[in-house]
Structure formats: C-alpha cells, structure tokens
Structure 1
C-alpha cells in the first residue's frame, strides 16, 4: 500500500487477502422500502402528536399552552444533549430518532390517556385495600406509561431491525421516546401548577425546578431499561428472544418507575433527601452503564475493522483512525484543513456501520440482507475514500 496522505488514510484500498473474502454481492441501488417505512411511521406519529397538541391547546388555553410548552423545552433540551452524547460514536438515522420522539410525545401519551382510567378501575378492584391515590400514582401510572412507551421501541425492533445493533442503540431510541413523553407530561404538570395558584408564581417555579432541572432524565432512564433489554435480545436471531427481552426490560422499567413515584414515602416525604440519597446514585449508575457500553462499542469497532485490515481492506493505521476518538478527531482536523470534513464524517460513519454489520453477520442475524448491506457499505467506503483523496491531492499540490 502507498503511504497515507493523511492520518491513517491510504491512497489505495487494499486487495482482500486471506480472512474476509471479497464479497460477491453486487451493491445495487438501495431499496426504497426503508424510506417509505420511515415516512409512514413519521407521518402517522405526527398526526397523533398534532391531535394531542390540539387537545392540550383547547384544554389549557393559548397563553398557558405556550408558556408551559416553552418551559418544557428546557428539560427536553437537556435530555437531547445527553442522548446526543450517548449517540456520538455511531449516530442513529435522524428519521428513526424523529419517529421515536414523536411516539413518545404523542402516541404514548394518547395510549396512556385512553387506557389509564380503565386500568385504574381494574387495579382498584384487584387491590381493594390499597388507597386510590397510591394505585393511581405508584401502580397504574408506571404500568400504563412504561408499556405505552416501550411499545414504540419494540415497534422499531421489528420494522427497522437493521439499525438496531445493540443495547447502546436501544438506549438512544428508548431515550428519545422517554424524552418525548416527558416533554408532553411536563406541559401538563407545569399547567397544573400554573392554574393551582392562578398565575406564574412559586408553585410553578418549584415544579419546574423539580421536574425540569432536578430530574429531566427520569422517563429517559425508565424507558432505557426496555431499550437495553431489546438491544441485548437482537444480538442473536429469533423473535422469541425479542419478546422475552421486551418483557424483562418492561418489568425493570415499571419497577423503577414505581420506586420513583413511591420512593418519597420511604424518606418521610422529603424530596431533597430522596433525591440526593437515592436518585443521584441511580443517575450515576446509569451514567456508568452508558460509559461502559460506549467503550464496549469502541472495542467492537476496532475488533471488527481489524478483521477487515487483516484481509487487506484497511491498514492498521486506518483502523486506529476509525476506531479511536483521538484518531477520529485528528482525521476530522486534517480533512477540515482542505474543506473535506463532511466526507471524512461519512467515511467514519460508513466504517462504523461496516463493523456493526459484520457483528450482525457473526451473530447470525439476517445473513442475506446483512451480506448485501456489507457489500453496499464497502462500495460506499471506496467512493468516499476517493472523494477524500481528490481534494487532499489538490491541497498537497497547492
């Protein structure tokens, strides 16, 4: 191979050697079915969001709806920044993330409203000695809300399976659903505080601080349990595994939500004691879990790309560039020096997708479709490499 013109980028793709054989699957045009599915999912979810929005607008009035909606944007922004940090290594398709948010903000809210009262009546019949407020807050709400949110994540597993690679993807998709649900729910909580005192005051400020600043990730964390369980389940083929994973993740999400709603009774209704003794450690544990999964995905990327390097598709220097954060930063700085940073981002994204697709093949998932996808990604990588090297050559001659 020739000497790299940049940080690890070779001027010629290697010739496949022993190991991963050159694929015989023709790249061909991309199927439009995936795009149509995205459009249909987003359109359907958007209609429900609009209906929920009209309902809230009519119930709250324009001033309360706008004010509370604006306040709800702040914790939403915090959640989205956190999810973006989680999703930096292998960004998920924006269309799927949009659908996940719309499901949370609209569909899951509609399901909760439609089924909440009915489930509450059933639970009161089954638990006649339990106070009604405890049933509604500690039992019914976690059951219905987590099921409504989790169904959106489960739907993505079945209709966008190729983009659901593991637990980290599950956290991102489930987190978007949870963030959307929290956004709409916060509008309701903020408006209740607004109407309780007849205007903007300490009550609204107190609720905003508690929900918007102290615990913006609550619903994200609950629903993430479903995402992690489904992400582990999809690593191997089989619908039964997926359903079992969904049930396990949903159970954890419901129990966590129950604990969250009923936990203050354990510390004598002192929210701040509950927050610092229980919620903060739980959040720290969640962060540690995410950090571990991110490192695991980086190691997997390096391992799988290393197999391609052994077969001649990449050099070891390219693997280091593509599978480490420092290598990616260096590569983006180099490409930015001659205006090719977007092409380098594409190269990094395609290489990461290649590694995850190879992992799916190793796990025996959807062998035919993943083999075809692997061929398309390799062809795209060669085109992107050429697109990077042309401006790099011009910059070098200049």
Structure 2
C-alpha cells in the first residue's frame, strides 16, 4: 500500500510528489499581514465537518428507539397477560431476563478485546447495542408475529411456523439490525473506517438483539421446565449466532467504506446482507425441518464460528499495520517520535497509558493518532481513485488535536 503523504525517499521508500501534484489538505492558510499582498486567509478549519449529518442521524436513532420501546412493552405485556398463567409467566420473564443479560459482560468483552488499535467510542457501541436490543427486536417481532398469524390462519400452524422462522425472521431481523450499520456508515463516517469497525458495530447490535430475544425463549423454557437445556444451547453453545449473521452485513459496509469503486460500494453491503440472511435461514431451517441433523449442524457451525474469529484477528492485525504505515511520515516531519509511534501501534498501548503517568491524555493521544492515520489511509485510496472523501477534512483538525495532546503529555511527564 503506497503512502502518498510526501515523505522523502529513505528508509520507508515513499517517493515525493512532483511539485504540481502536492496534495492540499484543509487547514488555515499562512498569515499575511494587512497590506502585504497575497491571498486572503482561509476560513478556520471546521472541527466537525459532519456535524449536520450526525445531527440527522441522532434524530432518526431517537425516533427509532421510541418506537422500539413502545413495541417491546406491548409484546412483553401480551406475552404475560395472554398466557394461561400470567403470574407464573411474569416470574418466568424475570428469570429469563437474568439468564439473558448476566452473560452479556463476557459476550461484550470479546469484541472489545479484539478491537485493539482503534476502539470505537463507548457511545457508538452503546447506540449499536441499544438499537439491536430495542429497535430491531421491536420491529422484527411485529413483522414476524404478523407473518405467523397470517400463514398459520391460512395454511395451519406448521406452515406458519416455517414461514415465520425460516423466511420472515432472517429477512426482517437482519434488515433492522443492518440499519444501524448503515447509520454508522452514512451518518457517522468519522467513526466507521472499514471491515473491523463494521464487524464490531454488527456484533454489539446483534448481542443486544439476542439478549432481548433470549428473554422470551428462556421464559417459555422456564414455563416448560426446560430452562437449563435452552440456556446451554443458546447461551453457551451458540451465543454468537446473531453476531455472525449481522457481521456479514458489517463486512459488506466495511468493504464499501474501504473501496473507492462505486459498484463495490453498492453491491458489497447488499451481498453481505444476503449472506447473513442465508446463514440465519440455514440455522433456523435445520431444527425446524430436519431436527435429527441438528447435532451435526451444530458441530459444523462451531467450526465456522472459530474460523470467523480467526479472520477477525487477522483483520485487526492488518488495521494495526495500516496505522503504522500511515504514521511513519508523521515521525519524519516531527509530529511524532519513534517512541510515540510504538506506543500508538502497540496492542496494549491503552493499557500502558491507563496504568502509567500518561493516563487519560495518553489514551486520547493514541486515539487521535490512530484516527489521523486512518483518515490519511481513506484519503490516499480516494486520491488513487480520483474520488472525494470526507476523511480529508479530518486530517488537519486531527493533527492539531495531536499537537495539543503531545504538549499536555510533555507537561505532565516525570522529571
């Protein structure tokens, strides 16, 4: 991967731009005193070029959350009060909630550990999780319930169960979970860099969805005295089903974010979505139609999930190498030292900062440097494809932020 950021030939082999091709980044023009000629100073750098778009995205997220809360309350009340024993069902729902939400601490820890080099902001992860837990469950539940009622009434319970579980559920659930990934891709481009980010957001959204969905499964299992078996199957053997399906959509949007080709940016998310729908439908099809083959299916599924985690680790390592490559010229021009570069590119750099004198400023410094490298990466690919990218607008502000944090770290450095 070539680095177009103008470092001279040397240890890293980056050739300089010809004078007529030097890239221009947004930033304040050199100051020219009044009356001394020259062009007028540029306007100050916009610190948040995506501010308006982010505001629209937040408004849509809030509207979706409000609708999802209403739908989930209605479904929960219906499940309790339409059961044959409402009092016992209420107790089962509370028990199911404990079994569904207590393991989340471990489930959520796994993607956070994997995303070492440029962790997503906590508020982005919370938005993804809540969308899956509230919005996706509410709207998908409404559609699946309606489909089951219609087809069961027309063709019988068996057909209603097949259509709702094998056809309606994969399409509706993956669609509404995928909407939050689309939201990050379009409204929060600064927080969405590529395939790894798509997988992380998809995983958090899917874990939120699975937790709320499991409340209902565990409650019904408790009513039938099968809670232990159901928890072992859904919570121990196959907790990564929904994250796996939705990660296909995340990978599609990640590929689109990394590509400058228009056809890839359109087809990759659509293709990823349908791969996720297929995997979801396959998982639901086997126990619904050929339950005797479920054990064999489960073994192959666990192997597939293990391979998927290996792919994620490889992608995270690739992301770290990309950050290092696009920060090398920052060392050459004096914006970073070699020691600071190693800190930023270390998989345990944030932990080192947490337990050293660098503290919160050190973690912020690593994040700013990582964001700078990834913004330069996106800009380099866009320039190669002769495209325009919003990432170019982030380079100058991030360099300014990096300089401020460096000064703060040097001021508090041990003497």
* TM bin (shorter chain): 0.7 to 0.9
Once superposed, what is the RMSD of the aligned Cα atoms?
3.2
Q: Which residue of 2 aligns with 1:208?
A: 231
Q: 1:290 aligns with which of 292, 312, 317?
A: 312
| Mapped contact 2:133–2:212 kept (Cα < 8 A) | yes
Change (3 A) 1:162 1:68: same
- Contact 1:267–1:274, Cα closer than 8 Å, also in 2: no
Indicate whether 1:322 and 2:344 are aligned: yes
1:165 pairs with 2:193:
yes
Task: Report what 1:387 is aligned to.
Answer: 408
The Cα shift of 1:75 comes to: 3.8
Q: Does 1:54 align with 2:77?
A: no
Q: Which has the higher contact order (CA 8 A, sep 6+)?
A: 1
**After the TM superposition, which of the residue ranges 156-165 and 210-219 deviates more from structure 2?**
156-165
After TM superposition, give the deviation of residue 356 of structure 1 in Å. Answer: 0.6
Question: For residue 8 of structure 1, what is the aligned residue in structure 2?
Answer: none
Alignment partner, residue 393 of structure 2: 372
Provide, for residues 306-355 of structure 1, a one-character-per-residue CA deviation record: whole Å limited to 9, x for no partner.
Answer: 132234432334322321326x268527xx443x3111111111111111
For structure 1, the residue ranges without an aligned partner over 5 or more in a row are 1-16
TM-score scaled by length of structure 2: 0.78
Instruction: Tell me the residue number matched to 1:13.
Output: none
Pick aligned residue for 2:327 from 279, 289, 305: 305
1:172 Cα offset (Å):
0.7
Higher helix share: 1
1:365-387 CA distance string (max 9 Å, x none): 88464233111111111111111
Tell me whether 1:136 sits opposite 2:164 in the alignment: yes
Q: State which of 381, 397, 404 in structure 2 corresponds to 1:363.
A: 381
CA contact (8 A) 2:170 2:280 kept: yes
Shift of 1:294: 0.6
Maintained 8 Å contact 1:167/1:231: yes
Q: Map residues 1-398 of structure 1 onto 2, 5 A cutoff.
A: 23=25, 25-26=27-28, 27-30=45-48, 32-33=51-52, 36-37=55-56, 39-59=58-78, 60=80, 62-116=90-144, 131-195=159-223, 197=224, 201=225, 203-237=226-260, 241-264=264-287, 269=292, 271-275=294-298, 277-325=299-347, 328=349, 332=353, 336-338=355-357, 340-364=358-382, 367=388, 369-392=390-413, 395-396=414-415
TM-score between the two structures when normalised by the length of structure 1: 0.81
Q: Is the 1:45–1:102 contact (alpha carbons within 8 Å) kept by the matching residues of 2?
A: no
Distance 1:34 1:24 in 2: 19
Moved more, 24-33 or 227-236: 24-33
User: What are the superposed Cα offsets for residues 198-244 of structure 1, whole Å, 9 maximum, x if unpaired?
Assistant: xxx4x011111111111111101100000011100111346654331
Q: Identify if the C-alpha distance between structure 1 residues 229 and 194 changes in structure 2 by more than 3 Å, giving closer, same or farther.
A: same
Answer whether contact 1:18 1:311 (CA < 8 A) is retained.
no
**C-alpha contact 1:38 1:95 (8 A) present in aligned 2:** no
In structure 2, the residue corresponding to 1:216 is in which secondary structure?
coil
Post-superposition shift, 1:272? 4.1
- Distance in 2 of aligned mates of 1:303 and 1:264: 48
Given that 1:233 and 1:242 are in contact with CA atoms closer than 8 Å, whether structure 2 keeps it comes out as yes
Match of residue 10 from structure 1: none
8 Å Cα contact 2:97/2:215 also seen in 1: yes
Q: Deviations over 1:260-314 (max 9, x none)?
A: 1223579852644432x21210111111110110111011011111132234432
Unpaired runs of 5+ residues, structure 2, are 1-14, 29-44, 81-88
Size of the aligned set, in residue pairs, is: 366
Q: Deviations for 1:4-27, whole angstroms, at most 9, x for unmatched residues?
A: xxxxxxxxxxxxx96787955144
